[in-house]
Amino acid sequence: MGWLKFIVQRKILVGLMVVLILMLGGFAVLKLDQELMPDITLDGAFVEVYAGDTPAIEVERSITNPLEQQLGGVEGVEDMTSTTNMGRSSFQLTFKQGEGDEVYKEVESIVNTATSENAKIDDVESGQYATSQGYEFYMDVSNGNMEEMGAFAEDILEPRLESLSEVRDVSVSGLVENEIVIEFDRAELAEQGLDLQQVSGFIEEANGESTLGELREEEGSPSIRWNSQLQSVEDVEEVKIPTPDGFVDLNELATISLQPIDNSTFVWKNGSNDFMFVQVGRNSEATQIEMAEAVRAEVKNIRDEGLVKGFELNEMVAQADYVEDSLDGVTSNIIIGGILAIVILLLFLRNIRATFIIGLSIPTSILLTFAAMWMFDYSFNILTLIGLGLGVGMMVDSSIVILESIYSKKEQGLDKLAAVIEGTKEVATAVIASMLTTIVVFLPIGLLGGEMGQFMIMLSVVVVITLMSSVVVSFTVIPSLSEKFLQLRKLKKANKEGRMIKRYNALVSWTVKRKRHSLAIVIIFVLMFAGSLMLVTKVPITIMPDMFNRYSELMIDLDTGLTNEDKEEIAQEMNNTLSSVKDVDSNYVIEMGGMFYSMINMTKDDEVTRGQDDVNEDILKSLRELEDTLPIRSVENVMSAGGGGFPVQVYVKGEDFTELKGVTDDFMNELEKVEGIVGVASSNERTSMEQEIVLKEAEIEDAGLSESQIRQIIEQAFLEMPVGELTIDDEDVAIAVKWEEETASKSALLDLDVPTAEGEEKLSQFIELLDVETPNEITHIDGERYVSITADIEGTDLGTVNREVQSVIDDFDAPAGYSLSVAGDLEQQQELIQEMLIILGIAIFLVYLVMAVQFNHLAHPLIVMSVIPMTIVGVILGLFITQRELSVMSGMGVLMLIGIVLNNAILYIDRTNQLRREGYGVEGALVEAGKNRIRPIFMTSLTTTAGMLPLALATGSSGNYQAPMATVIISGLLFATVITLLLIPAVYRLFANAQLRFWKSKKQKSKKLEETESAS
């Protein structure tokens, strides 16, 4: 302990180091970014390939299958799923852990090369999965003239916001995009002897601009430029079209008009589509809060300049607000927890100086943790702050044990320096062992895969840093201040044992007096553990808790082939339904191809009348009722605990579509019987009717026609093609040509005239149409076809449903060659449970390893670890009583709890061993150790509980993340603390007795052997 003497005698050095820590910690606080969740790039990617109106079966053949073959050969791609729809192929890829960036580059290269060679492909999007969102700040421009609002959004708001360094890009939806439509009269074209392709070519030439040559002999060799660009609808109408009888104006052959584009993005605010939806994306160098501040400042400048006139510019949602609310909530809980811990210390110690010394260790340890977080490039986010909050209660444990030991030595009459040296020396090994047992439980967390693993590693690192910081402070600051600053209370009378200590001593004495007493205590606790396991199925289970921020995002899947009027009707009905849900404040709907994306704001502050989980359930239930009357396929929560999507997913694998459909229908009937499952659907339901053309080859040949001519006639019947663009009022407007009379029915198509050598014939003479049912969605896993069955849950938890669904799968008799397996949240939950059990097992072994080294004994660690089952009893009771969910977060609490509860047992065993070395018997050492350690054990347990109590009672957006973990630790710790003080002496007594009999038996055998040898 020479180093300790050096530290105590160099108080100036310790003081200056504390000042340095305060300075570094303060600097780190200013530099650490603030965000809701850490910005993590995950080991996975997506690829979206768009192919116009190509049927799903053709997309599968020409796009999905070739890409799957190439991507499947990329080293580092572990899993690949694909979904093929009409005109779209989507891929989800999972990479080997830690190789995401390198593998994605190769995937991106393959996709770009393969798709550039395929004429069917219109566009390709790809990217890596990450925790950051595409857009994090939303506004609307509403209650005004659409043209004025559109001009403001495009010409002022968008460029002004994009000029900010904190903003990556701005997206404006709801703009009315126009095109010039030229609708040709078939009869007039035929009368003039013209072909639609010819006329389209004349229009393109009339709207041309090109360089025809240059005058080389002139100075500067000026070029000769032809410019006949059209400037208005009138210019288009007056385009001259050559005919056999001369030129005619285009408006004699077609009707020309300026029309809104059919595929413009539609948006609705509370059922009204007279508004602009503005989304702002964040630059990766800026935080969510910095971007929000910059955007709000620029919007204020725009208002101050008087540019918002005749309409409103409203802020809808800012993720930064949820970040601030969550971080402020966790921060206040940490502060309150720290104050409560100090109050507990004051009540126990009844010494202001002692309380001040330990209280000083809290801010010192926290600031040292901040400095370490800055060095690790961590941020202030919900995970790191929860880790810090959990550490606050524990960071005084080491200081309490050391200070209490020093205080006891001073009470025994040792001089100041000797009391510090001897007091610290007595508990040093126990403190270090306690820290190591708490830390080593986090080492296996790296085995937890995926996004959860990365999150939990970050939380674990912060807890470990906090604990290590607190131990460093406890071995430096505490001894230095305790030598002279710590004063004994003046006692009017000699210390007497309190009533609680006397009763406890009597109970321990009775427990260790007889072996059968100790055995009875152990049996009672074993029965308690077995009984608690009966409650496990009553505890709700999920993957990750939902984040309640009075805001929800939904994805509504629509049927194919809907008109704009159909979408308008759905949006209106959704608004009517949502308006009737209590505590829903406003709703926004954005049309995204075949889906609606909905953002729902709920009432806040004083207007809140019920919890968000109830509101969420009502929203989903009421919208799903619309599936019976409207062309809505499904409604899913984007912000659900499992990361979005349906909580229940089952894959049915097999090759034949017809057989797959039969198996799927049978299983869906069984699944619908499970209580709590709603909205059962399958990807097999998504089929559409196609009219397949069957050629009458003999008739075509008799008419002197070819198959290509017939195809050309049919293609021209549905022709709608762009022929350039022009600029009107600084807006680029596309020009499109099509027929005035749309070919919209089977009869209209078959009645088309086909010119032949003997005159015109109807198209029906050469083709017939056959009804064919084709899938709208084809799904693959690693190249193998499967059908996805999806469902949501209502009024129950994921764990209960998981058990029920797995039971249905086990009991289901699938035909040979067809298999069923859980997927999505169910699969993820099963994998996480397995991984957490493995992690728990490894953590327990590592704890045993640390204690075996510390005690230099193989049996004593088992005595300490006997308290672990009792800890689980407390955890189960705590979750059952509070009905908190058992999730990854509460699972982390269980891991942390194992390290914490063993600290008390280590203190007890370590003191018992010290006393036995001083000459005490087993029973006397156990009784005396209990008397010596009951105060620090209760102090450390209660300060940890006090520090975590605000987290356990937390509400608000981050409450669901904090509360389950803190509940697990508090309930397990309080139960285990009481049990430790009785169970540890009983188990120690049994082990000591067994060991004593072993040595006696060995000595007796040795003595008999000696007598036998001497007799012979």
pLDDT at 157: 93
Is pLDDT above 90 for 839? no
Nearest to 323 by CA among 601, 35, 639, 612: 35
Mean pLDDT of the chain: 81
Is pLDDT above 50 for 20? yes
Structure tokens at 131: 């925790």
Rounded Cα distance between 2 and 686, Å, is: 77
> For 724, how many CA atoms within 13 A lie in the half-sphere containing its CB?
18
Rounded Cα distance between 84 and 78, Å, is: 20
Rounded Cα distance between 166 and 171, Å, is: 15
Query: Residue 174: phi, psi to the nearest 5?
Result: 100, 0
- Its sign, for the CA torsion 740, 743, 748, 750, is positive
Rounded Cα distance between 380 and 370, Å, is: 9
pLDDT at 644: 46
Structure tokens at 587: 């709703």
Give the relative orientation of helices 2-9 and 11-31 as an angle to the nearest 10 degrees: 80
For range 689-708, the mean pLDDT: 86
For range 97-117, the mean pLDDT: 84
pLDDT at 547: 60
Is pLDDT above 70 for 582? yes
Q: Comparing 63-67, 287-291, 810-814, 1002-1006, which segment has the lowest mean pLDDT?
A: 1002-1006
Highest mean pLDDT among 224-233, 302-311, 547-556, 863-872: 302-311
pLDDT at 293: 92
Which pLDDT band holds residue 1001 (cuts at 50, 70, 90)?
very low
For range 316-338, the mean pLDDT: 78
Q: Specify whether domain 41-130 bears CATH 3.30.70.1430.
A: yes
Q: Comparing 295-304, 390-399, 499-508, 608-617, which segment has the lowest mean pLDDT?
A: 390-399
Rounded Cα distance between 1016 and 1010, Å, is: 10
pLDDT at 958: 60
Q: Comparing 201-210, 431-440, 491-500, 723-732, which segment has the lowest mean pLDDT?
A: 491-500
Q: What percentage of the chain carries pLDDT values higher than 90?
A: 4
Rounded Cα distance between 591 and 577, Å, is: 18
Query: Residue 691: phi, psi to the nearest 5?
Result: -100, 105
Which pLDDT band holds residue 641 (cuts at 50, 70, 90)?
very low
Q: pLDDT tens digits for 492-520?
A: 444 556 677 788 888 888 888 888 888 88
CATH node for 499-538+857-997: 1.20.1640.10
Which pLDDT band holds residue 180 (cuts at 50, 70, 90)?
confident
Is pLDDT above 50 for 368? yes
Q: Specify whether domain 1-31+351-487 bears CATH 1.10.1040.50.
A: no
- For residue 802, count other CB atoms closer than 10 A to its CB: 22
For range 552-571, the mean pLDDT: 81
pLDDT at 296: 94
Query: Higher-confidence residue: 540 or 1?
Result: 540
For range 368-374, the mean pLDDT: 89
pLDDT at 376: 86
For range 721-748, the mean pLDDT: 80
Classify strands 731-739 and 178-184 as parallel, antiparallel or unpaired: parallel
CATH 1.20.1640.10 residue ranges of the chain are 1-31+351-487, 499-538+857-997
pLDDT at 957: 56
Rounded Cα distance between 92 and 871, Å, is: 41
Which pLDDT band holds residue 1014 (cuts at 50, 70, 90)?
low
For range 927-948, the mean pLDDT: 83
Give the DSSP letter of residue 886: B
Structure tokens at 678: 């709603």
Which residues lie below 8 Å from residue 156, measured CB to CB, with a gap of 6+?
302, 307
Nearest to 901 by CA among 527, 397, 472: 397
pLDDT at 1000: 45
pLDDT at 796: 77
Contact of 41 with 759, CB cutoff 8 Å = no
Which pLDDT band holds residue 994 (cuts at 50, 70, 90)?
low
Structure tokens at 440: 């080593």
- Percentage helix, strand, coil for the chain under 3-state DSSP, each rounded to 5: 55, 20, 25
For range 745-750, the mean pLDDT: 86
Q: pLDDT tens digits for 425-446?
A: 888 888 888 888 888 887 887 6
Q: pLDDT tens digits for 953-987?
A: 866 556 666 788 888 888 888 888 887 788 888 88
pLDDT at 500: 75
Q: pLDDT tens digits for 888-926?
A: 778 778 877 887 788 788 888 888 888 888 888 888 888
For range 310-339, the mean pLDDT: 80
Query: Higher-confidence residue: 1010 or 85?
Result: 85
CATH 3.30.70.1430 residue ranges of the chain are 41-130
For range 742-746, the mean pLDDT: 82
Is pLDDT above 50 for 996? no
Q: pLDDT tens digits for 462-474?
A: 888 888 888 888 8
Instruction: Quote the Cα angle for 339-343-344, to 5°.
Output: 120
pLDDT at 162: 92
Rounded Cα distance between 934 and 505, Å, is: 10
Contact of 695 with 707, CB cutoff 8 Å = yes
